[in-house]
Chains A and B, each alone.
Chain A
Amino acid sequence: MRRIRGIRPAFRLPWFSASRVRREVDDELRFHLDMKTQELIDAGASPTDALSRARAEFGDLEYTRRYLNQTDRARMHHERRSELGDELQNDVRFAFRQLRRNPGFTAIALVTLALGIGANTAIFSVVRGVLLAELPYADPDRLVRVYSKIERGMTSVSPADFNDWRRQSTRLSALAASSEGTVNLTGTGTAERFGQARVSANMFQLLGVRVALGRAFAPGEDAPDAPRVVILSDGLWRSRFGGDPAIIGKSIRLDDFPTEVIGVAPPEMRYPSPVDLWLTTRFSAKDLSDSNRGSRWIDVIGRLAPGATPEQAQSEMNAIARRLELQDPKHNAGYSTRLLRLRDDMVGGVRPALIILLAAVGFVMLIACANVASLMLGRTAARESELAVRTALGAGRGRLVRQLLTESCCLALAGGVLGLALALAATRLLLSLAPSDIPRLYNVRMDATVLLFTIGTTALAALFFGAAPALQASGTDTVLHLRTGDRGSRTRPGSARARSVLVVTEITLALMLLVGAGLLIKSFERLRDVNPGFTAARVSTFTVTLSPVKYETLEQQRAFSTRLLDAVHRIPGVDSAAVTFGLPLSGTSFQLSYTVEGRPAPPPNAEPRAQVRIVSPGYFATVGIPLVRGRVFGEADRAGSPRTMVVSEETVRRYFPGEDPIGKHIDFGWNRDGDHLAGEIVGVVGDVRQHGLSEAVTPHVYAAWDQWPIDEITVVMRSRGDPAVAVAAARATVLSLDRDLPVYDAFTLETMVDRALGQPRFYVLLLSIFAALAVVLAVVGIYGVIASTVQQRTREIGIRIALGASRERVVAMVVRRGLILALAGIALGSAGAYAVSRVLQSLLFGVGARDPFTFVAVAALLGGVALLASWLPARRAARVDPLAAMRAEG
C-alpha cells in the first residue's frame, strides 16, 4: 500500500473539501469502534454491551470528532497553499527557462518594454512633480491666487486695491501680497545680487509655513517706518552664512540698509518663487493712495475662510471690485477680479504641454505592449504543439493560461526593472534639458508614488500583452494538433488576424504621434524664424542696480551711468555700448498710459498705452533696432534740454493711424517729484518682442536716459571678439568704479533669444523622440508579422514558384499584405490625428493643427518605412527554393 512518491503531484486527486474531511474522520472513528467492539465480543461480551464499552473506553468521542475535523481542515488549507506556491515557483522557473531559450525574442521584448516603461515613468515623474504634487503649505487646497482682471486679461494688483480687498473680504480669511526683485548684499565678502521677495507680514502665517529658525514677520513689520527685517532662505543661509544659527539677530547690509536677520525659512518655502530672502512690503502712503491705484504691480494670494467655497469668494471679490469701480472710475473702470487655485495658477501654463507629453508616452507604451503581444502571439503559435502535448498529459486549461500569464509577468517584471533603471537616467536627462521656466522642476524626483506608477504600468502591460496568447492557448484544439503531427509551422487564422489588428493599431498610434511631432517641428521652425526686432549676434549685456543710499539723487545716478558707459566704451573689442532700462524678450514690463497733446481726453482705460523703455543714444545702433523715420536720441538730448521721445512702429499703427507722430507731444501720468515723463516725439523705430517670440508686438515708447536716469542700469555692448571676454572685462570695470556693486544678469543676447525658444524646443525634442520610438516599434511590429507570414507560407510560396510564379510576383504578393496593414493604420491614424488635433493647438505657432502638408508628409514617411519593413522579408520569400520548401513540410 505504499505509494510511489514521485507520481503524486501529477495524479493529484481533486482538492479535499470540508465534507470530504468530515466523511473521512467519521470513517476512521467508525472503523476504530467496530474493531474495538469486535475485540470485546471475541473476549466474550454481548454485542450491545461491547459497543457501549468500546464507546466508553474511547473517551470524549464528540470532542475528538470536532478536534479531528478542525485539524484536518487546517492541514488541507495549508497544503493547498504550499502546493500553489510550488506551482508558481515551477511556473516562474519554467518561464525564465523559456525566455532564456529564445534570446532574440526576449531581447526585443525586453528592450521594447524597458523603453515604454522607462519613458512613461520619466515623464510621469515630471508630471507628478510639476502638476500633481500638492503645494507644501498648510491646507494647500484652500489657497487661491487673486488677480485684477480687465476684459480677458489678468493683471497684478495695486497696493491700494489690495488694502481695500483685505479690509472688505470675509470669504477670504486672509490676503497677502508679494513682489519680487533683487537686492545687493554687501559688507560680508564679495558684493552679490540675490533674488528677494517683498511680502506682507502675514505671508508665512497665511501659507502655514513655520520658520526653521528664529521667527516669522510680526504684524506691522511691513509698515514703511518699521525696522528693516529679513528672513533668509535655507539655501542662502547655508551657502552664504555657513548654516550658523547665531545669524539670528545679526544685521546684514541689503542695498546698503542695515537689516536684522530674524529667521531662516524651511527649504520647502518657495513662495512666490525660490527666492534667496524675504523682506517686507513697506508700502508707502503714496503707494496706497488713490492716485496710485492704477499702478498694478503686486501679486496677491488669499486663503479661503472656513466653509467658504471658491465661488462664494469669487463673487464676493467681484462685489468689492464693483464698489471700487464706482469709487474710483478713473483707475478702476472695467476692473474686476479673478480667483484661481494657487497650484493651478503656478502650473497652468505648462499643463497642456505636459499632458500632451504624457499622452504621447502613453501611446508609446501602448505600441510597445501591442508589439510584445504580437511577438508573444507569434511565439505561442509556434508552441501550440507543446501546449497541446501538455494538455493531453492532463494540464488543465486554467493551468496552461496560468503558465502563460506567469511568462508574461516575468517578462513584464524584467522589463519593469530595466525600465525603472532607464527612467532614473531619463529623468536626470530630462531635468538637465528642461528649460528653467517650467515651474516646480525642483519637485521632480523618483519616489514612492512614481514607483507605484511604474509597478501599475508594468502590471497593466503584463495583463495587456499576456492576455492575448493566454486566451489563444486556452482555445487550442488538442486532438487536431496531436493528430496532424504539427510541428508548429501552421497558425490558426485567429492568431494571424489578432496580430494584424495589433499591427494596425501600432501604426495608427505611431501616425498620430508623428503628426503631433511634425506639427511641433514645423511650428518650432516658424518660431525660430520670427524676427525679434533686434540683432542678437555679438551683443552681450549685464545689469547693476545702484544702492539707494549711496546714489540717492538722480544726479548721482546719472553721473554713475555716464562714468560706467565711458569705461565700457574703453574696453578693447567693444564697438558700441549703451545703457537701457528693460531689454526686449526679457519680459520686463513697465506699461504706462499717456495722453497726446491736443486730443480730447479718452474714456478711462481707453488711453493709449506703451511699454516704456529708457535708453541712451547708442542703444538702437548697439542692439540693431532700425530707425524708420525721424531720428533717434543724440548728444543734444541731455538733462535740461527739451524732453524727447522715440516711438515704435506698433505705437504709430495703433495710436497714430494716418497721422505723422513726429512733433506730437505725449505725456505719461507717471511722475517723479512732480516731473512728468513727457516729451516730443522725434523718431520712429522698429518693433521688438517684449515677452516671447510667439506673442504679438506691443507698442513701445523710448525716453532718453540722460533726461530720465534710473537706478537699475542694464548695459548692452556690441563687441568684436568673444562676448564673454567683454562681460568679464565689464565686471572688472564695475568693480573699479564701485567695489560694492554686484553685476548680475550677465549673458549674451543670443542666449536670451535661445531661452525664449527653451520650452518649445524641449517639447519638440521630447515629442520627436517619442514619435521616433513609436515609428521604430511599429516598423518592428510590421516586420515581425510579415516575416512570420512568410515563414508560415514557405511551402505555399515554394509551390507557387514551382508552378512558374515569378519572383517579382512573390515579392509583390508579400509586400502587398504589409502595405494593406500600413495603409489601414495610416488611414485610421490620420482620422484620429484629425479628430484630436485641437488639443495641440495651444502649443502651435504659425501652423494649423490640421496642416495638410504635415499630414501628407507624415503619412508618406510612415508608408515608406512600412514598405521597407515588408520588402525585407518579401525578398527572402522570393529566394525560397521550391524543392526544399516542399520537402521540409512534406
Chain B
Amino acid sequence: MDLLQGTLDVLILKTLSWDAMHGYAISRWIRQHTDNVLTVEDAALYQALHRLERKGLIESEWGLSENNRRAKYYQLTQAGRAQLRAETSEWRQYAEAVFKVLETA
C-alpha cells in the first residue's frame, strides 16, 4: 500500500518518539511495525528526514551504531514532540470521521 500524502512525516516523528535512531533503523522500524503493509521508499524517507530537520522538528548528531560504525542519529526536538501530539489527534479525528461514514452506510 502506498502512503497517503503527508503520512510519512508523522510516521517518522512517531518512530523517533521512542528513541534516537539512524535512518536505516527508522526504515526497518516502520517496515516491522506496519507489518510490511506500508512500503516506504528509502529515498523518500531520507528526504523527509532532512526536511524535518530543516523545519526544526528533529535534530541530528553523529554517533556509533550497533556494529560500531559512524551513523547519523535523529531525535525529536521539543517542537517535534508537540507536532507529533497535534498530528496524532488530527489523524484520530480524521480516521474516526471516515469510519463513521463508511460504517453507517
Residues in chain A within 8 A of chain B (CB atoms): 1-3, 24, 27-29, 31-32, 34-36, 57-61, 63-64, 67-68, 71-72, 74-75, 78
Interface string of B62-80 (1 = CB under 8 A from A): 1111000111110100000
Find out whether the CB atom of A2 lies under 8 angstroms from the CB atom of B20: yes
CA distance A71 to B75 in the complex (A): 18
Given A2-B20, A59-B41, A75-B54, do A31 and B65 touch, yes or no (CB 8 Å)? yes
B95 in the interface (beta carbon within 8 A) = no
19 contacts between A and B (CB under 8 A): A1-B63, A2-B75, A24-B72, A28-B72, A31-B65, A31-B70, A31-B71, A35-B65, A57-B42, A58-B41, A59-B41, A59-B43, A61-B43, A64-B47, A67-B47, A67-B50, A71-B50, A71-B54, A72-B50
Question: Can you list the 10 inter-chain pairs with the closest CB atoms, starting with the nearest?
Answer: A59-B43, A1-B63, A58-B42, A71-B50, A59-B41, A35-B24, A64-B43, A75-B54, A28-B72, A32-B24
Q: Considering the complex, which residues of chain B in the window 6-35 have a beta carbon less than 8 Å from any beta carbon of chain A? A: 20, 22-24, 27
Chain B 41-59 interface 0/1 with A at a Cβ cutoff of 8 Å (1 = within): 1111011001101100000
Does any Cβ of A come within 8 Å of B2's Cβ?
A: no
Q: Which residue of B lies closest to A28 (CB)?
A: B72
> Which of B22, B54, B65 gathers the greatest number of chain A CB atoms within 10 Å?
B54
Is the Cβ of A64 less than 8 Å from the Cβ of B20? no
> Which residue in A27, A29, A57, A75 is a CB contact (below 8 Å) of B46?
A29
* Contact indicator A68/B71 (Cβ below 8 Å): no
- Contact of B61 with A by CB under 8 A: yes
Complex CA–CA separation, A72 to B49 (angstroms): 11
Q: Collect the chain A residues with CB atoms within 8 Å of residue B75's CB.
A: 2
Residues on A with beta carbons closer than 8 Å to the beta carbon of B65: 31, 35
Would you call A59 and B51 a contact (CB within 8 A)?
no
Tell me the bound Cα distance from A41 to B27 in angstroms: 18
Q: Which residues of B contact A35 (CB under 8 A)?
A: 24, 65
Say whether B42 contacts A32, CB under 8 Å.
Answer: yes
Residues of B with C-beta under 8 A to A28: 22-23, 46, 71-72
How far apart are the CA atoms of A248 and B46 in the complex, in Å? 80
In the bound complex, CA of A789 to CA of B44 (Å): 70
Residue of B whose beta carbon sits closest to that of A29? B46
Closest residue of B by beta carbon distance from A24: B72
A72 to B51, CA, bound (A): 8
Identity of the chain B residue whose Cβ is nearest the Cβ of A69 in the assembled complex: B50
Residues of B within 8 A of A60 (CB): 43
A549 CA / B24 CA spacing, docked (Å): 109
CA distance A35 to B23 in the complex (A): 10
Contacts of A68 in B (CB 8 A): 46-47, 50
Q: Which residue of B lies closest to A78 (CB)?
A: B54
Q: Are the CB atoms of A31 and B63 closer together than 8 Å?
A: no
- Cα(A1)–Cα(B70), bound, Å: 12
A766 CB to nearest B CB, Å:
58
Contact B72 A31 (CB under 8 A): yes
Complex: how many Å from CA A63 to CA B41? 13
Contact B22 A31 (CB under 8 A): yes
**Closest beta carbon of chain A to B79's beta carbon, Å:** 14
Nearest B residue to A59 via CB reads B43
